[in-house]
């Protein structure tokens, strides 16, 4: 089996056509969605970048693997200690390492490990390609390496290619000559002038006011982000450029698919399309970043085209992205379920049956320290450190009626908060009872000065 895993940084599912977006951002991705299973409630367990990808490749929650931050002790995977062998457990127990044991050639085209110093991410890969831009590259720089690798390997069987594009990551940097294919098109309806007025007065990290400061400093290096947001019409600074970055990336992904077609292996290649996390585009008053344990940051796409799997179906069940490792190994006839926190959803891929979890716990310790519970139509967020955003300790949102988290119902619905707090406690008890460590890395982050991105920030 040939497996192509497209890891598309900061990609929100609701900005893709196949997830109902009103703009034509993703025609090539949309075609794949029609040929496989599209998951509508797929979440990263730990956000953002380093915690998410470490959880994906280790198959473990951050509380277990130790990576919940981008710095300090919680920025490194837990050491194995005295029991460590000469190669370390990830050589065989990581997702790519497990695939190698099944006879797969594994490769990664990504600058992510260097960007965050998360070198354990590379464990298990036969080949690692790093173009050296530390996540600042655009699709046109990644594509030639991808095409060359596919040309050399597409005719072979049993390979896994992790292909990472960064274009939707802030600052949105599609080349200027690409233009703006969405100029004049309406922005999302929920972002009204009233909402903008509220957000314009908000202070703190990642607010409009904060982004305007960056427009004169860091973002000044990126032409699409130089404009300050001073009036309602200026919201296009973020929205159009984010969507343009998605479309630019999708165009290049289309060339990957085109090559697979030309070689004659497209139908027999498994294509998985997902992200490390999403992007707040106004949710909680945060723009152009991914700094919370909320719906905007943790909800990600998953499109799963398996040659012998179901086609054109939609799964609405709750799943973690770390469920991928046991699912792939299950599909390929392996048996390593005991190694991971993930839960296989192979019955969904093969038979279209529900394999949903009853609830999810989502964590973020880079910009804030938060844990959230996603269950039924609810999202409960508990803040241990608000990262200078001004969040209340408890927030509760009814996602069916309020998908963009505008109305905090925590005070009105104490009954729902109590249910969520119980689920959080149950999850935490299970996590602590199934690891050899006595310290929750969230509290390590707190003891070392709080989330690394918030350190030194003044209100």
Kindly give the pairing relationship between strand 2-8 and strand 159-165: parallel
CA distance 8 to 411: 37
Region of 151 (left: φ > 0; alpha: ψ -120 to 50; beta: rest) is: alpha
Contacts of 336 (CB under 8 A, 6+ apart): 93, 98, 325, 326, 329
CA distance 120 to 129: 15
CB-based burial, 46-64: b 16+ in 10 Å, e otherwise: bbbbbbbbbbbbbbbbbbb
Element (H, E) at 273: strand 269-274
Specify the DSSP class assigned to residue 421: H
CA distance 283 to 295: 9
Residue 105's SS3 state is strand
Longest dimension (CA), the chain: 61
Element (H, E) at 373: strand 369-375
Per-residue pLDDT of the chain (459 residues; tens, 9 = 90+): 999 999 999 999 999 999 999 999 999 999 999 999 999 999 999 999 999 999 999 999 999 999 999 999 999 999 888 889 898 889 899 999 999 999 999 999 999 999 999 999 999 999 999 998 999 899 999 999 999 999 999 999 999 999 999 999 988 889 989 999 999 999 999 999 999 999 998 888 889 988 888 877 877 787 777 788 999 999 988 899 999 999 999 999 999 999 999 999 999 999 999 999 999 999 999 998 999 999 999 999 999 999 999 999 999 999 999 999 999 999 999 986 667 999 999 999 999 999 999 999 999 999 999 999 999 999 999 999 999 899 999 999 999 999 999 999 999 999 999 999 999 999 999 999 999 888 999 999 999 999 998 886 654
Q: Which of 2, 28, 23 is nearest to 303 (CA)?
A: 28
Residues 253 and 6: beta-carbon distance below 8 Å: yes
Query: For the domain bounded by 2-174+238-354, which CATH number is listed?
Result: 3.40.720.10
Q: What is the 3-state secondary structure (H, E, C) of 129-140?
A: ECCCCCCCCCHH
pLDDT for position 337: 67
Q: What are phi and psi of 38, to 5 degrees?
A: -110, 120
Residue 183's SS3 state is coil
Contacts of 429 (CB under 8 A, 6+ apart): none
To which residue do tokens 């003891």 refer? Answer: 447
Kindly give the pairing relationship between strand 105-109 and strand 159-165: parallel
The reply to whether omega before 321 is within 30° of 0 (cis) is: no
Cβ atoms within 10 Å, residue 214: 18
Cβ atoms within 10 Å, residue 410: 18
Which ranges in the chain are annotated with CATH 3.40.720.10? 2-174+238-354
Is this prediction's pTM over 0.75? yes
DSSP-assigned states of every residue in 345-413: -HHHHHH-----BS-EEEEE-SSSEEEEEEETTEEEEEEEE-TTS---SEEEEETTT-TT-----TTT-
pLDDT for position 459: 45
Q: What are phi and psi of 13, to 5 degrees?
A: -65, -35
CA distance 165 to 37: 22
């Amino acid at each position: 089996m040939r497996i192509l895993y497209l890891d598309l940084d900061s990609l929100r599912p609701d900005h893709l056509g196949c997830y109902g977006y009103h703009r034509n951002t993703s025609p090539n991705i949309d075609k794949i969605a029609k040929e496989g299973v599209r998951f509508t409630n797929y979440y990263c367990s730990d956000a953002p970048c380093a915690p998410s990808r470490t959880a994906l490749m280790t198959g473990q929650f951050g509380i277990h693997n130790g990576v919940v931050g981008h710095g300090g002790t919680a920025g490194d995977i837990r050491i194995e200690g005295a029991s460590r062998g000469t190669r370390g457990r990830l050589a065989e127990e990581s997702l790519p390492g497990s695939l190698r044991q099944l006879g797969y050639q594994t490769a990664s085209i990504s600058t992510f490990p260097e960007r965050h110093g998360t070198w354990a991410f590379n464990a298990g890969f036969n080949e690692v390609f790093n173009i050296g831009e530390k996540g600042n590259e655009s699709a046109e720089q990644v594509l030639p390496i991808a095409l060359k690798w596919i040309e050399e390997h597409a005719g072979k069987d049993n390979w896994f290619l992790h292909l990472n594009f960064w274009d939707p990551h802030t600052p949105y940097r599609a080349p200027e000559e690409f233009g703006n294919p969405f100029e004049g098109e309406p922005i999302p309806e929920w972002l009204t002038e009233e909402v903008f007025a509220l957000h314009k007065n908000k202070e703190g990290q990642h607010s409009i006011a904060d982004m305007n400061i960056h427009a004169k400093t860091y973002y000044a290096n990126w032409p699409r982000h130089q404009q300050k947001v001073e009036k309602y019409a200026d919201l296009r600074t973020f929205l159009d450029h984010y969507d343009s970055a998605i479309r630019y990336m999708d165009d290049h992904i289309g060339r990957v698919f085109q090559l697979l077609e030309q070689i004659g292996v497209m139908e027999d290649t498994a294509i998985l399309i997902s992200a490390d996390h999403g992007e707040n585009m106004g949710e909680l008053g945060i723009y152009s970043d991914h700094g919370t344990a909320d719906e905007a940051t943790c909800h990600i796409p998953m499109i799963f085209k398996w040659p012998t799997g179901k086609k054109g179906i939609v799964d609405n069940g709750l799943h973690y992205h770390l469920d991928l490792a046991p699912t792939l190994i299950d599909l390929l006839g392996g048996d390593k379920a005991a190694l991971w926190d993930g839960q296989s959803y192979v019955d969904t891929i093969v038979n279209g049956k529900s394999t949903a979890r009853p609830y999810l716990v989502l964590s973020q310790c880079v910009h804030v320290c938060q844990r959230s519970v996603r269950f039924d139509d609810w999202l409960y967020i508990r803040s241990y450190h608000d990262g200078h955003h001004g969040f209340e300790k408890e927030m509760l949102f009814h996602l069916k009626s309020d998908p963009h988290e505008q109305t905090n119902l925590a005070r009105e619905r104490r009954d729902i908060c109590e249910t969520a707090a119980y689920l959080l406690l149950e999850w935490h008890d299970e996590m602590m009872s199934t690891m050899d460590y006595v310290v929750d890395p969230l509290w390590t982050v707190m003891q070392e000065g709080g989330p690394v991105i918030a350190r030194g920030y003044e209100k």
